[in-house]
């Protein structure tokens, strides 16, 4: 991640003072959380449906004690819950500088067993969860 820090300008670091990452409990989302914290973001909020994040999340918190790193459990397909949590984060400092929509799921099945409902569930999480919201924070 040192490479990322060298690539980010001071103005970029200032713009990303408070960032929210969906899907931030593990996988690609957690990698994004780590990259933002390592690059100097003052605060990163991670949203995910899991009750607790991967242990690496706590390691990041211990490694960067001067930066605010917070995990919030929320299902991104529950629009009203997501709006409330989103507003809670934006109200914390009266701003939100960045959003990384990294929540995503996959489903593997034989082609003849793949249903329209399976496809809708994937689209709900991977595409529509953030893009369908009206954000008035």
CATH code where residue 68 lies: 3.40.50.720
- Confirm whether 33 is domain-assigned: yes
- Confirm whether 101 is domain-assigned: yes
Q: What is the CA radius of gyration of the chain?
A: 16
**pLDDT band for position 137 (cuts 50, 70, 90):** very low
How many domains does the chain fold into? 1
**pLDDT band for position 1 (cuts 50, 70, 90):** very low
Predicted pLDDT at 109: 87
Higher pLDDT: 14 or 89? It is 89
The boundaries of the domain holding residue 95 are 2-131
Average pLDDT of the chain to the nearest whole number: 86
- Confirm whether 74 is domain-assigned: yes
pLDDT > 90 fraction of the chain, expressed in percent and rounded: 55
Summarize pLDDT for 12-52 with one digit per residue, the tens: 555 568 999 999 999 999 999 999 999 999 999 999 999 99
CA 68-70-75 angle, 5° bins: 150
Predicted pLDDT at 126: 84
- Confirm whether 137 is domain-assigned: no
Higher pLDDT: 23 or 129? It is 23
- Confirm whether 120 is domain-assigned: yes
For residues 109-120, average pLDDT: 90
The residue among 87, 83, 60, 84 whose CA lies nearest residue 71 is 60
- Confirm whether 103 is domain-assigned: yes
């Amino acid at each position: 991640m040192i490479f990322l820090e060298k690539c980010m300008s001071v103005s970029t670091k200032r713009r990303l003072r408070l960032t929210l990452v969906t899907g931030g409990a593990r996988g690609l989302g957690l990698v994004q959380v780590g990259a933002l914290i390592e690059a100097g973001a003052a605060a990163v909020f991670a949203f995910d449906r899991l009750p607790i994040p991967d242990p690496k999340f706590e390691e990041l918190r211990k490694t960067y004690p001067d930066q605010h790193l917070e995990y919030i459990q929320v299902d991104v397909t529950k629009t009203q819950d997501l709006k409330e949590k989103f507003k809670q984060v934006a109200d914390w400092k009266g701003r939100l500088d960045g959003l990384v929509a990294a929540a995503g799921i996959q489903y593997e099945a034989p082609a003849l067993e793949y249903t329209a409902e399976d496809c809708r569930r994937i689209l709900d999480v991977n595409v529509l969860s953030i893009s369908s919201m009206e954000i008035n924070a």
